[in-house]
Chain A
Amino acid sequence: MRRISEKGKFLILKKAFLCAFPYTIPIFAGFWFLGMTYGIYMNVSGFSFWYPLLMSMTVFAGSVEFVAVSMLLGSFNPIQALVMTVMINARHLFYGISMLDRFRGVGRKKIYLIFGMCDETFSINYTAKIPEDVDKGWFMFFVTLLNHIYWVSGAALGGIFGSFIQFDTEGLEFVMTAMFVVIFLEQWLKEKSHTSSLAGLGISLLCLVIFGSENFIIPAMLMILAALTLLRPCLEERKGEEKQ
């Protein structure tokens, strides 16, 4: 156990925050836009702003929150709500498996890091090059917290102002696509074998064409899992060449 003075702790937090913040700027743009869209959608569906505020805070998973609006407008069916949520969010299972090692030894923050692991937070926390002298636990904590704040404030604002907000921001939603392309590219530039990247891209695309945008994620996940399992003998050998 290390004993750290109050001032020392403050400096560690400040450093981690300043390092984390720039990574979250694109997510701020994307989450305010999407969060407001979600809040407005709830507002025009007849819900007070408390709904988007509390739901964005407790669920913190964009796509399922949009679906939850139609669940709330439909007839009461809690089991269906649970099953649908698990299906839509199944991709988080992959994030957890990828973060098993990285979340080790970060203390009690781990609970919050797992709770707040949406697509964007996972992508940043997995790929960011955290400098040696920055506490990685606090870095990931601030990425998660800032993204959470952006999402909740966006949803609440959308819920409060509803249809009064004028949209001259057409196309802003592309910021999320651009971010995922950059993250894919970062991974691409640092990996030796592109097999997994290409498998993920190709299989998802194939499943999108076959199963359509509503249903492609689960088949894509299963096929990616199958492909990576079959390729294990050659991929694991390649991995050995990289210094880990």
Chain B
Amino acid sequence: MTLTQQIVTIAMVVLGTLLTRFLPFLVFPPGKETPGYVRYLGKVLPAAVFGMLVVYSLKDVSVLTGNHGIPQLLAVLLVIALHKWKRQMLLSIAGGTVFYMILVQVVF
């Protein structure tokens, strides 16, 4: 690829990303009444999206080979337990991550 072709390729990636981020705001501008269905989606989608992001962040875990996802499972359980106990975002995240690092570096 020439430099120009590289710049065009990167520009396409930028354009595609901008498109996915700006489209809802362009289709439903603040001046116009947003349809009830879209407002409904805006309210119920986030909960589903957070569930999807949890799965997305674990998508490359292989359950059938290697550690069978056991370190991830244990660490996720610890994050949940810590968060239910203290409900301190940083503590839950740091605790779970350090625990996971120990598991994959030392135990497994």
| B90 contacts A100, C-beta separation under 8 Å | no
List chain A residues, Cβ under 8 A from B21. 89, 92, 95-96, 114-115, 117
Residues of A within 8 A of B18 (CB): 115
Interface residues of A in 160-203 (CB under 8 A from B): 169-172, 174-189, 191, 194, 196-203
Chain B: interface secondary structure? Answer: helix
Are A114 and B17 within 8 A (Cβ)?
no
Asked if residues A98 and B49 are in contact (CB atoms below 8 Å), the reply is yes
A99 / chain B contacts, CB cutoff of 8 Å: 24, 42
Interface mask (A67-109 → B, CB under 8 Å = 1, otherwise 0):
0100110011011011111100111111111111101100000
Q: Is B5 an interface residue (CB 8 A)?
A: yes
Which B residues from 13 to 47 make CB contacts under 8 A with A?
13-25, 28, 30, 34, 37-47
User: Interface size bucket, B side?
Assistant: 35 or more
Contacting pair B76 A181 (CB below 8 A): yes
Q: Is the CB of A171 within 8 A of B50?
A: no
Q: Is the interface of A mostly helix, strand, loop or mixed?
A: helix
Can you list 7 A-B pairs, Cβ within 8 angstroms, ordered by A? A54-B10, A55-B10, A98-B42, A177-B57, A187-B46, A201-B55, A224-B45
| B-side contacts of A101, CB under 8 Å | 39, 42
* Given known A-B contacts A96-B23, A114-B21, A181-B76, A81 and B100 have beta carbons under 8 A apart: no
Output the least CB separation between B39 and chain A (Å): 8
**Beta-carbon contact of B49 and A95 below 8 Å:** yes
The answer to whether A23 and B89 have CB atoms under 8 Å apart is: yes
User: Within the complex, what minimum Cβ distance (angstroms) separates A69 from chain B?
Assistant: 11
Contact B54 A180 (CB under 8 A): yes
B101 neighbours in A (Cβ, 8 Å):
169-172, 174
Measured in the bound complex, the distance between the Cα atoms of B92 and A79 in whole Å is: 43
Q: Is the CB of B48 within 8 A of A174?
A: no
| Interface presence of A149 (CB below 8 A) | no
The residue in A54, A175, A184 that gathers the most chain B C-beta atoms within 10 A of its C-beta is A184
Query: How long is the Cα–Cα vector from A81 to B30 in the complex, in angstroms?
Result: 31
Q: Which residue of B lies closest to A201 (CB)?
A: B51
- Are A90 and B79 within 8 A (Cβ)? no
Chain B 49-89 interface 0/1 with A at a Cβ cutoff of 8 Å (1 = within):
11111111111100000000001100110011001100101
B77: shortest Cβ distance to chain A, in Å? 10
